[in-house]
Structure 1
Amino acid sequence: MIQIDNVSKTFGGIQAVRGVSLEVAEGSITGLIGPNGAGKSTLFNMVAGLFPPSEGRVLLDGRDITGLPPHKLFHLGLVRTFQIPHEFSRMTVRENLMVVPPGQSGENLFNAWLRWGRVKQEDSAVLDKVDDVLDFLEITHVADELAGNLSGGQKKLLDLGRTMMTDARMVLLDEPGAGVNRTLLGKIREAIQRLNRERGYTFCVIEHDMDLISALCDPVHVMANGELIASGAMTELRRNEQVREAYLGGGMSGQMGENARPSNQGDAS
């Protein structure tokens, strides 16, 4: 679905990403890992249209989308989340979901005054979809809570809900497990797996939690110093000396998920 072809990015003489090529297959949950400063977020930002690559190209279903801005990618079904959620804090969870679908007739003052029947019909359809999202993610109990009052894990679930309101086909998830307690992390993992399995979403996931990556992702791509250094299943990558050295040299724990569940046990409780 996504093809990244020899992509590089330079900032003021510093090369943050160097000639990376990889694919995210349709229907997969693909992982992207590496120590801090490896270039993962920079690569995500280029795919998501936040800035263009210095070299190379990005394809979506064979279409060149290199440098297209996020709002155009949104209409092509490609969206991303952020490590720190960007909710509308003074709106309720339900309202946060309601404002997502594009092109609502009620956004136009003329329609709101003179085509209220059409607006009402569309609003009813949006509310039905909101109810479906709330139920799917098991957050109906906070539907009328201000989004700013949610816990970190609940905000991550709300982020997933907003992608569901777009009918996204390709979702870039930036550290969905960051700052989330273990109970809600399990719900987030299950929601991602169900969206992939039951509704056909394709995901690419940046994450530092190797247990989560091991449970969710196959394949996994590893970056270090702006380059792609390895790809494969987590069971293989844990034994890869270049990968282990990258993590140890990056000042991380170096555990590489030795105690994590293998990916084929991702549905275990």
Structure 2
Amino acid sequence: MLELDRLVMDFGRFRAVNNCSFRVEEGSITGLIGPNGAGKTTLFNLIAGAFHPTSGRIRFLGEDVTGLASHQLFHKGLVRTFQIPHEFHKLTTLENLMMVPPSQPGESLFSNWFAWRRVSSAERDVERRAYETLEFLELTQVAHEPAGNLSGGQKKLLELGRTMMTDAKLVLLDEPAAGVNRTLLRKLETKIEILNRDRGYTFILIEHDMEMIEKLCAPVICMAEGRVLIEGDFETVRSNPQVLEAYLGETTGDAA
């Protein structure tokens, strides 16, 4: 589904991503781990179209998408979330979902005046779909609550729901466990599993929570200093001496 070929990203003299290559298979949940500063978020920004690589190629669904902007990739089904949720905090949870689908007829002034029946029908369809998404995420109780009032875990669920409203094919999840209590984290894990297993979503997951990585991800890719150290199953990656030194360090006991 996704292929990275010798990606390089330089910021002046600093090389944040260094000849990074790997493939993401359709239907997988790929874990991307590594210490802070390893280049994981920069790599996400390259994949999602926020940055243009210094060199190298990105292919998505067999198409060379190197250099395409985020909105162009969005329309192709490649969507990302952020470590800090980007909700519209004054809009309700329901409205945050309803505004996601692109090319809604209500966005056109002409349609609002001369095709209002079509606009009304489309809005009902989007609202129904948004309610179904909230029901799946178990957020119906906060449907009409301003999104800014949600807890950290609820905001992460809302971020996941927004990707569902796009019919995304590949979702980049940036530290979904950050700031989430354990109860909501288990719920978030379950929803990701269901979307992957039953609905065909493919995920790449940046995460420091090794329990989440172990539960969800195969394969696991470890980065350090902008390059890929190793790729394999969780046990292989966790026990690799380079990973223990570069990533786990003093937390080896906790991760084990």
Is the Cα contact below 8 Å between 2:31 and 2:220 reproduced in 1?
Answer: yes
Which amino acid in 2 is paired with 1:46?
A: L
Alignment of 1:227 with 2:223, yes or no, is no
| CA-to-aligned-CA distance 1:80-99 (integer Å, 9 cap, x gap) | 00000000000000000000
Alignment-derived partner of residue 52 in structure 1: 52
- After superposition, the CA RMSD in angstroms is 1.0
1:257 to partner: Cα distance: 2.6
Q: Give the match's secondary structure for 2:245.
A: helix
Alignment-derived partner of residue 4 in structure 1: 4
Is the Cα contact below 8 Å between 1:244 and 1:256 reproduced in 2?
Answer: no
**How many Å separate the matches in 1 of 2:195 and 2:141?**
20
Alignment of 1:253 with 2:222, yes or no, is no
**How many Å separate the matches in 2 of 1:193 and 1:4?**
25
Is the Cα contact below 8 Å between 2:24 and 2:30 reproduced in 1?
Answer: yes
Task: Give structure 2 stretches of 5+ with no counterpart.
Answer: none
**How many Å separate the matches in 2 of 1:233 and 1:47?**
23
**TM alignment of 1:66-77, pairs within 5 A:** 66-77=66-77
Task: Give structure 1 stretches of 5+ with no counterpart.
Answer: 259-269
| CA-to-aligned-CA distance 1:139-165 (integer Å, 9 cap, x gap) | 111111100000000000000000000
Alignment-derived partner of residue 263 in structure 1: none
**How many Å separate the matches in 2 of 1:256 and 1:67?**
39
**TM alignment of 1:64-213, pairs within 5 A:** 64-213=64-213
Is the Cα contact below 8 Å between 2:248 and 2:255 reproduced in 1?
Answer: no
| CA-to-aligned-CA distance 1:235-259 (integer Å, 9 cap, x gap) | 111211111011255xx6234731x
Superposition misfits of 4+ residues, deviation over 2 angstroms: 254-257
| CA-to-aligned-CA distance 1:177-221 (integer Å, 9 cap, x gap) | 001000000011001000001110000000000000111100000
Q: Give the match's secondary structure for 1:253.
A: helix
**How many Å separate the matches in 2 of 1:173 and 1:256?**
23
**How many Å separate the matches in 1 of 2:227 and 2:95?**
41
Structure 1 pair 31–256 and aligned structure 2 pair: CA distance change class (3 A):
farther
Structure 1 pair 226–157 and aligned structure 2 pair: CA distance change class (3 A):
same
Give me the TM-score of the superposition, normalised by structure 2: 0.98
Which amino acid in 2 is paired with 1:85?
A: P
| CA-to-aligned-CA distance 1:44-76 (integer Å, 9 cap, x gap) | 100000011111010001100011000000100
Q: Give the match's secondary structure for 2:251.
A: coil
Q: Give the match's secondary structure for 2:160.
A: helix
